[in-house]
Amino acid sequence: MRIFQMSICTRVIFLAAIFFLVGRLNASIGDSNPLYRSCLEQCEETGCIGNRCFQDCPSSDVGSSNGSQSIQKPCYMQLIQWDCRSECRYHCMLERERDNEMLGLGPVKYHGKWPFRRVLWIQEPMSVVFSVCNLGMHLLGWISFCSLLYSKLPLRPKDRKPYYEYSLLWHAYAILAMNSWFWSAVFHARDMDLTEKLDYSSVVALLGFSLIVAILRAFSVRDEASRVMVAAPLIAFVTTHILYLNFYKFDYGLNMKVCVSMGVAQLLIWAVWGGLSRHPSRGKLLVVVVGTALAMLLEIYDFPPYKGFVDAHALWHATTIPLTYLWWGFIKDDAQFRTSNLMKKVK
Ligand SMILES: [Zn+2]
């Protein structure tokens, strides 16, 4: 199989993606347990687990009238589909996990996911926190990039625009990256069809665009016509793929192949360019490339959430926060480097 001909880096990323996507598919050990199944069946029928009843279940009023504790929740929660089925799944899972713990057994997955403890109806609180931190880090990086471009570096006298030829590309990249982390936070807060599609589509758009930026920067493509020739087929491909996922078939396997190919391609482009070029900031670039590949190992050693909160995936999102800081550091250094080179030519 072709995987054996790949480099170690490619293999790591390929395996990471497989584990990441398999982790999101449905059937797992936890939900095939007969005790879990019977708890679910009973809960959906009676609306209660023990003396805890859920208001969305058809028979939950029976439970509350005979002295059981009925779970009241804010009405906006109905919008994000915390219905009878999801409440039953969550509480049956907690019950099974309590029993497992007493028997000295470790946590198992339910419906493709580790047993997370929710906070204020947020499913994976730590992944949400780290996604928001990533978003914040991109925002800070982008603001600092803009302040460097427009108030610290010289501007072209005729149109007051930056000398740096890749500034517009990085602005678009920043917006796509923040959009992607926003939907990542939403998806980890509540995993539904819509939030999953928005998260996956945003990641595809970001990966596609960052591949275009990698090609344009590494090959110093500066004139408009050549940029269009590089970008147009990639934009067409990414758009078709997003439309296919959303309106034809949500194919995890195909999406994995597309994302891995685009991710590996750009990491290789940056790694080779960083290794060959005499860019003053190539050290930062290589740390980001190697760091990103290593961070993906966390997806391979997919461990359950510690105390129901921090799992490997959440930690993976945590590791990209300092990498994002370094990444914007590299982008700012590149802007400074290119501007000073262009200024020398102007003089
Ligand atoms: Zn995530």
Name the phi and psi angles at 49, rounded to 5.
-125, 115
Whole-Å CA distances, 191 to 3, 63, 194, 202, 272:
31, 28, 8, 15, 37
Cα-Cα end-to-end distance for the chain: 56
- Return the closest-CA partner of residue 175 out of 214, 222, 135: 135
Q: Would you say residue 207 has pLDDT above 90? A: yes
Whole-Å CA distances, 333 to 164, 169, 214, 297, 329:
11, 15, 16, 29, 6
What is the 347 CA–ligand 1 centroid distance (Å)? 48
Average pLDDT on 53-79 reads 57
What is the 119 CA–ligand 1 centroid distance (Å)? 17
State whether the Cα torsion 44-45-49-55 is positive or negative. Answer: positive
Which tokens sit at 12?
């790591």
What is the 181 CA–ligand 1 centroid distance (Å)? 9
What confidence tens digit (pLDDT) does each residue in 241-292 have?
999 999 998 888 888 889 888 988 999 999 999 889 888 989 999 999 999 9
Residue-level pLDDT at 59: 61
What is the 312 CA–ligand 1 centroid distance (Å)? 10
Distance separating alpha carbons of residues 292 and 287, to the nearest angstrom: 8
What is the 115 CA–ligand 1 centroid distance (Å)? 15
- Return the closest-CA partner of residue 324 out of 170, 164, 136, 126: 136
What is the 166 CA–ligand 1 centroid distance (Å)? 29
Of all residues in the chain, what percent carry a pLDDT higher than 90?
A: 40
What is the 86 CA–ligand 1 centroid distance (Å)? 20
Tokens 């996990």 — which residue?
Answer: 97
What is the 186 CA–ligand 1 centroid distance (Å)? 10
Residue-level pLDDT at 66: 45
**Residue 343 identity (one-letter amino acid):** M
Distance separating alpha carbons of residues 307 and 342, to the nearest angstrom: 54
Average pLDDT, the chain: 82
What is the 47 CA–ligand 1 centroid distance (Å)? 32
Q: Would you say residue 7 has pLDDT above 70? A: no
Residue-level pLDDT at 76: 58
Distance separating alpha carbons of residues 332 and 174, to the nearest angstrom: 13
Residue-level pLDDT at 208: 96
Residue-level pLDDT at 174: 97
What is the 96 CA–ligand 1 centroid distance (Å)? 25
3-state class (DSSP) for residue 71: strand
